[in-house]
Chain A
Amino acid sequence: MVSVVLNTDVKQEDAGNAVVVAVTSRALFESGLEDDDAGVWKLSLAFPLLQAVQKVNDCLLEKNPAESLLLDVLLITTDSQHQKLSSLLISSTKHHGLGVGKFCFASEETFVDSLLENNVQLFLSTNKDEVQTASQKGVPSAMLEARKKDSSVSCQREDLRVWLDEDLISLRDSASEPGSRHSPQRFLAKLGEIRQRFSVSDSPLWISLVILHGSRENCGKRLKTLRSLGVSVDDVYCLAGAPSEPLLSVLQPHFRFNCCFMD
């Protein structure tokens, strides 16, 4: 049984224009480690992401208090064990004052349908299989990245850092359903729209394009493709097969989104 519960501590956003970002409960909370005083769960990997999303929303509202193009966070359980712990999840979320708009209690079998029903435009998890499954069913998905404490790239109050790449090699290996082509583009277009609300140098959202393989021709093409979708990328790295880990530790993105650019 799948149910959606609203977080009454948080102002609900205009469903029409908001970009729904779903984060798994396992990514947000370290289950089993209870904070003794309050009887709630401790925060895990996804917390910096939520803080960054909050910053983006705050900046958007600062520019325009009536802004409806905001990021709306949905906390979703993806296994039956967590599905049963709904009240603990809700209380932990409220205790930490997290900007989660809705909760969705689903299991392994039902979570993808929930994602689709709730118009989720980006699904973030720390579980590779979940990301792949959701992606194949047409929900743009990405793995959350672990973040180092010191980074040589300075961010004042945690900006949301998005890494876009096109892993052409692994793309060939995992086929996805034909109908899903549109979804990544829709998400990218929204992301681009949010980015456009801010100037070139002063933005709480930072979009990096990383061309992992191939030659510089790819690079020029992708910049233009993204531009045509309305996405003005901030920085671009063309690796031409060089290992990406060193760059990953410099850029420290919150997540890496594999865009399936179809020519």
Chain B
Amino acid sequence: MSEIKPEGPAAAADSSEEQDWAAAKAFFDSLKTKVPRPPKPQFAVTIAVSSRTLFNMVAERKIYEEEGLEKYVAFQVEHEDEPLSPGPAFPFVKALMNVNSRLRQLYPDSEELFDIVLMTNNHAQVGVRLINSINHYGLTIERFCMTGGQSPIGYLKAYMTNLYLSKDSEKVTDAIEEEIAAATMFMRQSETELSDTQLRVAFDGDAVLFSDESEIIVKQHGLDTFFEHEKKFENKPLAQGPLKCFLEALGKLQRKFYAKNERMNCPIRTFLVTARSAASSGARVLKTLRSWGLEIDEALFLAGAPKGPLLQKIKPHIFFDDQMFHIEGAKELGTISAHVPYGIGQKYNRGKLIEEPAEKK
């Protein structure tokens, strides 16, 4: 699983790092706490969630925007014994925890687990309320990074993050530019009941798992050219997209269950939900996945039909898509959606090219 994370420092440094880790492990075990020991980051699948995705902080955010930072911090401190209510990433985090307990049962000594990190640019004083809220729900989050206003990007790498979820699209865009899988989360508009025994993750194809090369063709040359192109290049794998590595990480954990004969009872299930049609452009996608050695449990080709109703049936804990149009549709019908701000899709809104905004900083 070390391929998921870049190689650590030179071998000479490794043995002192090993010693440090052994000491840290021993120390944690000596605490006699019921909390399971967090895994070694090098081997874990690290998911960084922001405070506003983990908890619902809409009211508090309003105070920050209308009354400023000092009043916001003071408010949080005043209410620090009141737990916050769950945010959009909450069900996803609970599902990750469930996978971890299954993994720990089957592989008690393995460090190949999900590691959930709270990654927020909140001030440390707000941290007490966040910690109290985490305690209230019994979430297994032992690693935090509360940056006191600094951008989390440098810290994402320091914590070896595999996936970053935030409500701030600017931070998410910065993360993707640094080649860290990331998405902007949205609260769903209605509640559908989600599985509490299986983590279900749905991905769009183009510009999420795959690059936006084909989407560029659709936007610039139309569907017919797109179909011709995809048929012609059916056997040429697409380039990878920002969430490919996360799918890969899920696949590695799934195989641990298969190895123990738990395929039928695997607590992770992945879905591809694409606007491509099976007949004309689907083959390339499946062949690309195969060439990467990746499996996806269910591939659903919609041939342009809306994704919302299908996702309503799938009930994923999270659905990744690069186009806001699909995110809106999914949200309306009760699916927790996460926007991946990558590729040509960002320049279009419902098929029309957006006017270029003034140059940002």
Q: Is the CB of B124 within 8 A of A238?
A: no
- Residue tally, chain B, CB below 8 Å to A: 44
Q: How far is the CA of A237 from the CA of B120 in the complex (A)?
A: 10
A contact face: mostly helix, strand, loop, or mixed: mixed
Q: Is the CB of A223 within 8 A of B159?
A: no
Chain B residues contacting A232 (CB-CB under 8 Å) are: 124-125
Q: Is the CB of B70 within 8 A of A200?
A: yes
Q: How far is the CA of A223 from the CA of B17 in the complex (A)?
A: 27
Which of A153, A208, A212, A240 has the most B CB atoms < 10 Å from its CB? Answer: A240
Q: Is the CB of A152 within 8 A of B154?
A: yes
Contact residues of B between 145 and 201, Cβ < 8 Å to A: 145-150, 153-155, 157-160
Is A32 an interface residue when CB atoms closer than 8 A count as contact?
no
Q: Is the CB of B155 within 8 A of A216?
A: no
Q: How far is the CA of A257 from the CA of B40 in the complex (A)?
A: 25
Q: Is the CB of A213 within 8 A of B27?
A: yes
Contact of A237 among B31, B35, B144 (CB under 8 A): B144
Is A3 an interface residue when CB atoms closer than 8 A count as contact?
no
Q: Is the CB of B124 within 8 A of A234?
A: yes
A contact residues, range: 35 or more
Is B20 an interface residue when CB atoms closer than 8 A count as contact?
yes
Q: Is the CB of A236 within 8 A of B24?
A: no
Q: Is the CB of B148 within 8 A of A235?
A: yes
Is B123 an interface residue when CB atoms closer than 8 A count as contact?
yes
Contact of A215 among B33, B41, B73, B148 (CB under 8 A): B33
Is A90 an interface residue when CB atoms closer than 8 A count as contact?
no
Is B87 an interface residue when CB atoms closer than 8 A count as contact?
no
Contact of B141 among A214, A216, A241 (CB under 8 A): A216
Is A220 an interface residue when CB atoms closer than 8 A count as contact?
yes
Is B21 an interface residue when CB atoms closer than 8 A count as contact?
yes
Which of B53-61, B126-134, B213-221, B291-299 is found at the contact surface with chain A? B126-134
Q: How far is the CA of A233 from the CA of B69 in the complex (A)?
A: 15
Chain A residues contacting B70 (CB-CB under 8 Å) are: 199-201
Q: Is the CB of A241 within 8 A of B144?
A: no
Chain B residues contacting A97 (CB-CB under 8 Å) are: none
Given contacts A200-B73, A235-B147, A242-B40, 13 further A-B contacts (CB under 8 A): A201-B70, A216-B131, A219-B131, A220-B128, A223-B127, A224-B128, A227-B125, A234-B123, A236-B144, A237-B146, A242-B38, A246-B159, A250-B154
Q: Which residues of A contact B (CB under 8 A)?
A: 152-153, 168-169, 199-201, 206, 208-209, 212-217, 219-220, 223-224, 227, 232-243, 246-247, 249-250
